[in-house]
Amino acid sequence: MFGEPDDNSITLLRYVRWLFIRLPLLILVVNGTDYLKEGRTTRGVVDLGIAMALIAVDLFVIGRAIRRTKRQIKDPEYMKKYRDMSPAEHAKMEGLIAIRWCILWLIAGTGLFIVMPIAIQVKDLAVCLILGAFLVLLGVVGLIWGIRTYKNPEILAKRRSQKRPITDSCETLYRDFELSFEAAQEQYCKQTGKSAEELTEADDEIIWDYAYAQITYLFAWIAEHDFYEAIEGDYPYLAEMVGKIKTREISPTAYIAENQGTIFEGNIKEQALGFVKGYMNGTYFSEVETFAKEHLNAEMFGFPFRWEDYDIFKSHIDEAYAKFTGRADR
């Protein structure tokens, strides 16, 4: 129903402007002019006065809000904050926007197309009431959607993650299905002495870092060697996140968590895909497990991603890739 939050703020503002400002403005100007021609001066002046008030709202309220939102979209800091949000946070923001604007929609629709026409006895009262009822119904539907999305944003986020094009590029290379979270939680609780009931949201973030650590070394290597490419259906900011992984501004865990614990084959360039698939089906995970025990003194799913650990482990990946390319050359 709604897409980019700020883009839709502008779209909703424009709907409000045309439906609740400019359309009533046109009706009031026509009716006011007719009343003046008929000699009903008071009624004509009232209608034209309301029209002038709507013009002021159009220029100084709606227009100003649209300009402010456009400036916000161009603000690098704001857009960085927006791109760093998770799909669920995006969905929750959309739900809040929908609630806010649908309430305005209901108030404006009821006032301008039901209450005001009755109060000033508009000539085409039936048309106004039918249009008002229709707009109010749309507002109610939008408000229900907004409340549901705000309360359960993960449902919309999950639904969107499943709307990728059905192509070979969307074959799954790695998917966690949240199966490693329980094992990571167990390891974390052993390390901290906490029970599962005592864990906070901050603890859960660390646990997800543990859960995805098994694949993060390989994904960091993919980003570092420019073997990642975007595919149709990706969120645009995912590619930007990979760029930040390459420059070590964020960890690979952030990308994998943002992408619902999934890496798609299409996101790996053709020149590296054969190696990555073979390595994952071969020795990679056992090498990570051995590395964790020998260098980190930890079990699998019992350690977070750290760049200093990756710098040590990546020699295993480089060696495996050298062997792969050597075989391919022959």
For the CA atoms of 51, 56, 61, 66, the dihedral, rounded to the nearest 10 degrees, stands at 90
3 state DSSP class of 201: helix
| Confidence category of residue 42, pLDDT binned at 50, 70, 90 | confident
pLDDT at 275: 94
Residue 173, phi then psi, degrees to nearest 5: -90, -40
Residue pointed to by tokens 């999950």: 158
Helices (H) and strands (E) in the chain, counts: 16, 2
| Confidence category of residue 164, pLDDT binned at 50, 70, 90 | very low
Q: Between 272 and 124, whose confidence is greater?
A: 272
Cβ atoms of 51 and 26 within 8 Å: the answer is no
Q: Which amino acid is at 113?
A: F
The DSSP string of 210-238 is HHHHHHHHHHHHHHHTT-B---TT--HHH
The rounded distance, in Å, linking the Cα atoms of 273 and 228 is 10
3 state DSSP class of 6: helix
Q: Between 112 and 55, whose confidence is greater?
A: 55
Q: Is the dihedral of CA 217, 222, 226, 231 positive or negative?
A: negative
| Confidence category of residue 224, pLDDT binned at 50, 70, 90 | very high
The rounded distance, in Å, linking the Cα atoms of 101 and 236 is 26
Q: Is the model's pLDDT at 186 over the cut of 60? A: yes
65: Cα separation from own chain's centroid: 22
Q: pLDDT above 70 covers what percent of the chain?
A: 85
Residue 104 has a CB neighbour count (10 Å cut-off) of: 15
pLDDT at 187: 92
Cβ atoms of 230 and 267 within 8 Å: the answer is yes
| pLDDT tens, position by position, 265-311 | 889 999 999 999 999 989 999 999 999 999 999 999 999 999 999 99
pLDDT at 3: 38
| Confidence category of residue 218, pLDDT binned at 50, 70, 90 | very high
The rounded distance, in Å, linking the Cα atoms of 135 and 19 is 9
